[in-house]
A and B are shown apart, each in its own frame.
Chain A
Amino acid sequence: MKPAAFTYHRAESVEHAVSLLGELGEDAKVIAGGQSLVALMNMRLARPSALVDVSGVRGLHHMVLEPSGELRIGALVTHAAIEDYPLVIPGFEILPKAAALVGHWPIRTRGTFGGSIAHADPTSEWCLVAVLHGARMVIEGPGGSRTLGSEDFFGGPFMTDLGHDELLTEVVLTEPRERSAIREFARRAGDFAIVSAAVAYDIVNGRMSGARVALGGVASVAVRAPAAEAELEGAEATPEVFARASRAAAEDLQPPSDLHGSADYRRRLVRVLTERALADTLAGD
């Protein structure tokens, strides 16, 4: 199908984008890579009256590792740029692996990190990574800038705290970890995952520390799995511990049942994928 008519506005800067969004009113939308929005518009599931194209805005294409160990990612960094990033980013080795799981190459060349976070698909790889790494979202609006943690930013499937006249400019990933891995299951290569699992931890004195387990596709937004994290914390990284933690990850979940999979099937996927992701963290040993 073809999209409904709209007016097109090219933003020159963050301030310009924010003021355009304010002037054009509630029915205007930001377009970044367009890899979710244009599909929705073609199906007329979205009918914005105006598009504010931010793809030419400078200063939102950075990846900066701070001395604190935190990583700042500009909203317009594409999935492909992260996948092909020529350097290893210490503490965030999960990034290129996660990028490679986002759709297909011709989608990754245009789709953006910030667009994925703003779109808030419950099984988006970047939303999962944001939850795993305690992300802070940096938002610019008419009243200046504000920062939200993922608990406050994500409201539900395709829902965030972003106002219609606000722009997500940067995502700060915190809590770098020595070891991390991501696994997901999708029916076909490149599809959105049915369930995804990401894990990360440091090794301190031969034991796991700062363990994190995040799951996608089991709730309306990506979630942490505290019971699994507790099993890992302070333990040695062994297959037995991994198996226990993976069972714990699946136990206290109430995942949705839909035509992609029943709740039981999803719980099973959580156990298997968490265990495989944990096993991947030993691949370098």
Chain B
Amino acid sequence: MRTDSETLNVEFTVNGEARRVSIPPRRTLADVLREDLGLTGTHLGCEHGVCGACTVIVDGEPVRACLMFGVQAAGCEIETVEGLALPDGSLNDLQRSFSEHHGLQCGFCTPGMLMLGTAYVRRAVAADRESVREVVSSNLCRCTGYQGIVDAVCELVCHPDGTGAGEDPAGDS
């Protein structure tokens, strides 16, 4: 049986800081972040791409960190939940909105939701509630029933003309 005798040196940035790790190829990016770099904010739920708890941002795009090997992140810019708060430790706008709208209960899904939301907020212009629902359906939350999460993201991206936070069209998707 093959063992992990072989490790590769990989360099990338995490939350703007240059990092270098020596890792076996089979280590997923999620495990590299958690085990090698101690950034345990990135959670692992299913480890096969279904739950989204491990969502991080790689080169500006949201990805499942359990479906990418650390060696594939060579040269990439990685953003994790640890990079969201402001330098003085206070919450950024999206985090504050999650708190205000009760977008979390146990918090297990929250890092993934926040990173997905961060990527979405950067690119969404005058989004509507339905597209926010579609985006957050990517990640599983077993607690909130999603309304608070949708409200929290909507506050930052939805047009205030009645498609914003608070109401829910009878979506049948």
Binding site for B on A (CB under 8 A): 1-8, 31, 34-35, 38-39, 41-43, 49, 51, 53, 55, 80, 103-107, 109-110, 188-190
Contact = CB atoms under 8 A, between A and B. Distances in A.
Contact of B61 (A1, A3, A43, A80): A80
B173 A106 contact: no
Contact of A35 (B3, B4, B67, B71): B67
B24 interface: yes
25 contacts: A2-B28, A2-B31, A3-B28, A5-B2, A5-B4, A5-B25, A6-B2, A8-B8, A8-B25, A34-B67, A34-B68, A34-B69, A35-B49, A38-B67, A38-B68, A42-B47, A42-B66, A43-B48, A49-B2, A53-B71, A106-B55, A107-B49, A107-B67, A109-B61, A190-B137
Contacts of B26: 2-6, 41
Contacts of B120: 105
Given A5-B26, A42-B66, A53 B72 contact: yes
A110 B67 contact: yes
A38 B8 contact: no
A57 to B, nearest CB: 13
Interface in B1-47: 1-4, 6, 8, 24-26, 28, 31, 47
A53 B134 CA distance: 31
Contacts, number: 92
B148 interface: no
B157 to A, nearest CB: 14
A38 B3 contact: no
Nearest to B65: A106
Contact of A7 (B1, B25, B28): B25
A98 B135 CA distance: 16
B164 interface: no
Contact of A189 (B31, B55, B61, B134): B134
Contact of A39 (B2, B49, B55): B49
B138 A190 contact: yes
Given A34-B69, A42-B47, A190-B137, A109 B62 contact: yes
A103 B67 CA distance: 13
Interface residues of B, number: 33
A34 B47 contact: no
A129 B24 CA distance: 38
Contacts of A2: 26, 28, 31, 47
A104 B8 CA distance: 31
B25 A105 contact: no
A43 B63 CA distance: 19
Given A105-B62, A105-B135, A5 B67 contact: no
B71 to A, nearest CB: 5
B28 A5 contact: no
Contacts of B24: 5
Contacts of A53: 71-72
A142 B10 CA distance: 31
Contact of A105 (B8, B47, B138): B138
Contacts of A5: 1-4, 24-26
A55 B67 CA distance: 14
A189 B137 contact: yes
B67 A39 contact: yes
Contacts of B52: 104, 106
Contacts of B2: 4-7, 49
Contacts of A51: 25, 69
B165 interface: no
Given A34-B67, A80-B61, A107-B49, 17 more contacts: A2-B28, A3-B26, A4-B26, A6-B2, A7-B6, A8-B69, A35-B49, A35-B64, A38-B28, A42-B28, A105-B116, A105-B120, A105-B135, A106-B61, A107-B67, A109-B61, A110-B63
A1 B6 CA distance: 20
A190 B1 CA distance: 37
Contacts of A42: 28, 47-48, 66-67
